[in-house]
Structure 1
Amino acid sequence: MKTPYESIIMIPTNKLIGKKALEDPYNPFAWYKEMREEESICFNPQADMWNVFLYDDVKRVLEDKEYFSNIMPEKKKPPFPQSILGMDQPKHTQIRSIVNRSFTPKALEVWESRIQEITEDILTQLSNRENFDIVQELFYPLPVIVIAEMLDVSTHDMDRFKNWSDIIVSSPSHDDADYLTDFFHTRLQAENELGDFFEEILQLNRGNSNKDSNDIISLLVQSEVDEKISGEEIVSFCKLLLVAGNETTTNLLGNLLYCLIEHPDVYKQIQQDTALIPKAIEEVLRYRSPAQRVVRRVKKEMQLNGQTLQVDQIVSAWVGSANRDSNYFKDADSFNIHRKRNPHLAFGHGIHFCLGARLARLEARIVLTELTKKYKSFSFIDTNLPIPISNSSSVYGLKSFPVKSEMIQIK
């Protein structure tokens, strides 16, 4: 019989991650390098899963739908309804296609001015302050407001969204029995509360037959009427969009500014030539990927880099390591926005390529453009003050980032 503690969400980080990475969660790269050189593919008995660290192997795990699946074995499944991240074709493709129209380049053009407006409003509120926590005051609220408006839900619940999201992407840190019990119930409560929130929104939407809207929930409800998707699947998908929509972009933005403070010359280059902004964003996605790890199930026995993977074994593909693989990236541990070739895997690969990648890139481009127009420079208030996310084995970024800013004086 399956117990909640067998689920992949209950594996403690101290069983998944090497000591070097645990000690400095914002800089796991020395551990990645060690593993690429010494044990590039290895079985971790503590976590009961395979680890793969090389670019070729990670890409194969992500794209090869013949041998790898997003559907976990029954005993490893989380004890709540799964989003499309836990689906394979054809169901995955069917659900994704319903909302894909909301994330096309043409659809996102409509949102560009609104994202610009939100960014400018927040920066205006910060304009009289030299020091502020840029994650908490800009990089967190902006993407939450955007995805909430795309879903047509109230932003008054923004703090609850963030709290639910942080809990849902977290991992237990150790395997003390009482701690795991508390962790599991906290996670389950957050899942249920967010699910109830969206179920209420759906009920209101279903009852409003006069509503003529192209927001994402309305598109999903219409597909429910057409029997293409169930109510439970809509709720799970909305939960995914809200969580991924704010966590990914918040962490991308935090990692972006961190890299630019580490490399002030690059910030100046971008100020002088804003055409470099997209290249800077892509290099940050490679250099400090907002998602460091994804998991897959082995569908049928296969060979990967000399190792035999058995049916239903779990594979942990370390995207953050693949993006530092020197076989694919020259001077991989150097931050270089002028790379001619940057085939990073930060947004995944294959059928599960991140649906919101265009939106995250758009938000990052707008934010960085506005920052370079308004601020001459940013610096660390204290190099110890950026506080990394330490309670997740997958999500990577900063939960707090106090900065000192110098505004451009308009003459």
Structure 2
Amino acid sequence: MTVLGAKWGMPESLFWLHGRRPEQPVEFAEKQGLWNVYGHPEMAAIFQDSATFGANTARLFSELPQEFSDGNLGQMDGAEHRTLRNLVSQAFTPKVVAGLEARIGQITHDLLDQVDGRESFDLVPALAYPLPVIVIAELLGVPASDRDQFKEWVDRIFEVTNIDFSLNEGKEKVGVSIDQAMERQQPLRDYLLEHANERRVRPREDLITKLVLAEVDGARLSDAEVVSFANLLLLAGHVTTTMLLGNTTLCLDHFSKQAAMVRADRTLMPTAIEESLRMLTPFATQARVTESEAMVGDTLIPKDQLLMISVSAANRDSRTFAEPDEFRLDRYPNPHLAFGRGVHFCIGAPLARLEGRVAMNILLDRFPRMSVERPEFIQSAMMCGVGSLTVRSGG
């Protein structure tokens, strides 16, 4: 079988990041001064034990600004994380998410109307990018008409995530990268702060207003916390879905037999989406820090060590997944870690799954003979997906 990705020219360096499995599930990269984790059982245990494997990796980099941690759910653990996560989770309850289905369908149709009749088009700017941006912007209460500005900011932020932690770089370079990312986030943070200040004067029925008015232990959130919340939701809330749509399209194009089964039986679409999340994991790498000396598999790791976790490799661990390089619609259960696990399980996962299911079904309805013509993969050590995906409409 042709290696998924090689068919379209995915760079060899990205194969390793996006699924190649080293022989050892845990190894120390002496040159870089950090630990690489590749195994699924080892990674699942790490995600489930936030007391031992903390999310606050920023504490290893004293030069980072405080704003990086304030209100940043991805850098919190314990009671503080639980309290603030409960605030945001109100916007992602099953009832709220289910109520968005019709709106997601409407946006999808409106976007595809603009490319209807074309022989070929780029799926990313046509659908995969704007759909989740519009949805999350409407939830937050910021104008979806600003999505081009969002894209410019996001592109500049993710330009500095192109670090191959396991092969070339170490903790010092990680710290520099985070510092650069914070600098590039500033325009977006300023923009969100302006909206937050406006809500204090004129509240609305949106998530930014809920954050501004929320109290934790009798105290309102600080400006930095409100902005970090909104920033995280705006970035992670659309990037995952953008890559999910592109990656699912790639998988269905590559595995034609399974694609035919999905077209014939749309109840298989959620299964296809889960399998694409496993095979081409959007956020391919995550980081943790040891809060105490800990065992990871058979390896003892000291306290205060940086762990770079290759989720993409874990999702193809043959110890957990039979035929890991096959796209299987009968894979049940499918315990992939694309959305994490434990207390840091992706809060927007239900929305991403809904957007994926609705958009992919409409896409197949409107372009039943669609095929991939040319993908361009994001050159990032942290993410697996396409920045551009030219498809032929097939009719």
Instruction: Please report the TM-score for the alignment, with normalisation by the length of structure 2.
Output: 0.89
Residue 223 of structure 1: aligned partner: 214
Q: Does 1:406 align with 2:394?
A: yes
1:202 to 196, 213, 217: 196
Partner Cα separation in structure 1 for residue 311 and residue 298 of structure 2: 20
* Deviation at residue 306 of structure 1 after TM alignment: 2.5
Identity of aligned residues (%): 35
Cα distance change, pair 397–230 in 1 and its aligned pair in 2 (3 A): same
Q: How does 1:7-406 map to 2 (within 5 A)?
A: 23-28=11-16, 32-33=20-21, 35=22, 37=23, 39-72=24-57, 74-76=59-61, 78-79=64-65, 80-82=67-69, 83-169=72-158, 170-173=160-163, 187-208=181-202, 211-213=203-205, 215-224=206-215, 226-381=218-373, 385-390=374-379, 392-406=380-394
Cα distance change, pair 26–267 in 1 and its aligned pair in 2 (3 A): farther
* Deviation at residue 185 of structure 1 after TM alignment: 7.5
Cα distance change, pair 117–197 in 1 and its aligned pair in 2 (3 A): same
Partner Cα separation in structure 2 for residue 121 and residue 192 of structure 1: 32
1:113 maps to amino acid:
A
* Deviation at residue 341 of structure 1 after TM alignment: 1.6
Secondary structure of 1:232 counterpart: helix
Residue 14 of structure 1: aligned partner: none
* Deviation at residue 22 of structure 1 after TM alignment: 9.5
The answer to whether the Cα contact below 8 Å between 2:212 and 2:220 also exists between their aligned partners in 1 is no
* Deviation at residue 219 of structure 1 after TM alignment: 1.1
Count residues with an aligned counterpart: 374
Cα distance change, pair 333–180 in 1 and its aligned pair in 2 (3 A): closer
After superposition, what is the alpha-carbon deviation per residue over 1:98-133, rounded to whole angstroms, capped at 9, x for unaligned? 121211110112211111110000111111111001
Cα distance change, pair 329–29 in 1 and its aligned pair in 2 (3 A): farther
1:143 maps to amino acid:
P
Cα distance change, pair 266–199 in 1 and its aligned pair in 2 (3 A): same
Partner Cα separation in structure 2 for residue 110 and residue 119 of structure 1: 16
The answer to whether the Cα contact below 8 Å between 1:261 and 1:379 also exists between their aligned partners in 2 is yes
The answer to whether the Cα contact below 8 Å between 1:25 and 1:388 also exists between their aligned partners in 2 is no
Partner Cα separation in structure 2 for residue 376 and residue 51 of structure 1: 42
1:32 maps to amino acid:
R
* Deviation at residue 152 of structure 1 after TM alignment: 0.6
Cα distance change, pair 31–147 in 1 and its aligned pair in 2 (3 A): closer
1:132 maps to amino acid:
F
* Deviation at residue 243 of structure 1 after TM alignment: 0.6
Q: Which runs of 5+ in 1 are unaligned?
A: 1-20
2:232 maps to amino acid:
L
Cα distance change, pair 406–30 in 1 and its aligned pair in 2 (3 A): closer
Partner Cα separation in structure 2 for residue 221 and residue 162 of structure 1: 25
1:366 maps to amino acid:
V
Residue 3 of structure 2: aligned partner: none
After superposition, what is the alpha-carbon deviation per residue over 1:203-257, rounded to whole angstroms, capped at 9, x for unaligned? 100011xx351x2111111105952532211101111101101111000110000
The answer to whether the Cα contact below 8 Å between 1:95 and 1:229 also exists between their aligned partners in 2 is no
Partner Cα separation in structure 2 for residue 50 and residue 181 of structure 1: 16
After superposition, what is the alpha-carbon deviation per residue over 1:315-367, rounded to whole angstroms, capped at 9, x for unaligned? 11111111101111111111112212211111000000000000000000001
* Deviation at residue 311 of structure 1 after TM alignment: 1.1
Partner Cα separation in structure 2 for residue 31 and residue 100 of structure 1: 31
Instruction: Please report the TM-score for the alignment, with normalisation by the length of structure 1.
Output: 0.85
Partner Cα separation in structure 1 for residue 255 and residue 10 of structure 2: 25
* Structural RMSD (CA): 2.4
The answer to whether the Cα contact below 8 Å between 2:283 and 2:384 also exists between their aligned partners in 1 is yes
Cα distance change, pair 340–362 in 1 and its aligned pair in 2 (3 A): same
Partner Cα separation in structure 2 for residue 332 and residue 183 of structure 1: 32
* Deviation at residue 57 of structure 1 after TM alignment: 0.6
* Deviation at residue 31 of structure 1 after TM alignment: 6.7
Partner Cα separation in structure 2 for residue 279 and residue 292 of structure 1: 20
**Range 312-321 or range 22-31, more displaced:** 22-31
After superposition, what is the alpha-carbon deviation per residue over 1:116-175, rounded to whole angstroms, capped at 9, x for unaligned? 110000111111111001012110111111111110101222122122223333425577
The answer to whether the Cα contact below 8 Å between 2:10 and 2:377 also exists between their aligned partners in 1 is no
Partner Cα separation in structure 2 for residue 181 and residue 322 of structure 1: 25
